[in-house]
Structure 1
């Protein structure tokens, strides 16, 4: 998630800097542009499709982190592991069913 956000911020900054620098160059130093021939070898439609594919992948990875933040903890059956010990702290893996509780010694639902 953070890497996708960093890539988006970097691309926005680079495009702003490019547009600012484009106005600062003199007309003599600019390269002659051919309107019929794309600079990279890709058409606008191909570039748009590639960008759409990248954004779809980014949305799918963002959806997973949103689900984690929604505080939805899966349910555990009796006898299943419900917590994990991280040094002095105990992290919850799942929520025990109604009528049971997570035993902090065995770290299982009983």
Structure 2
């Protein structure tokens, strides 16, 4: 939910900045001669730093998609271990690919 909120805030900020920049463009459509000319009271470097900070903050809130989720079981290839035996119980390590099954005697995908 927070990742959606961060994307919405970022898109609103970018659309406002785009509309302001479109209004500031000259009839010749040329860039200003001085690269550090203040825009909205901020220099280009300050705007870039602010945007980078906003993107870093959004990334930290979103989290990585690589993180392991409780409901997702990774996939195993044929011949890999798919389970471990804990006394009388068998715990799953991964899910075998389509067309294969976890052999409960060898504890491998076949």
* Structure-2-length-normalised TM-score: 0.40
User: Which shows bigger deviation, 56-65 or 66-75?
Assistant: 56-65
CA contact (8 A) 1:82 1:102 kept: yes
Q: CA RMSD in A?
A: 10.0
Deviation per residue, 1:14-62 (Å, 9 max, x gap): 9999999999999999999999999999999999999999999999999
Q: With the length of structure 1 as denominator, give the TM-score of the two structures.
A: 0.40
The alignment covers a number of residue pairs equal to 110
Name which of structure 1's ranges 23-32 and 46-55 shifts more when overlaid on structure 2. Answer: 23-32
CA distance change for structure 1 residues 63 and 28 in 2, over 3 Å: closer, same or farther? closer
Q: Which stretches in structure 1 are left out of the alignment for 5+ residues? A: none
Could you say if the C-alpha distance between residues 96 and 5 of structure 1 is closer, same or farther in structure 2, counting changes exceeding 3 Å?
same
- The 3 A distance-change label for structure 1 pair 80 and 4 is same
Judge which range, 50-59 or 70-79, deviates more.
50-59
**Contact 1:4/1:58 (CA < 8 Å) preserved in 2?**
no
Q: Could you say if the C-alpha distance between residues 36 and 25 of structure 1 is closer, same or farther in structure 2, counting changes exceeding 3 Å? A: closer
CA contact (8 A) 2:77 2:96 kept: yes
Moved over 2 A (4+): 1-70
Structure with more helix by fraction: 1
Give the match for residue 70 of structure 2.
Answer: 70
Runs of 5+ unmatched residues, structure 2: none
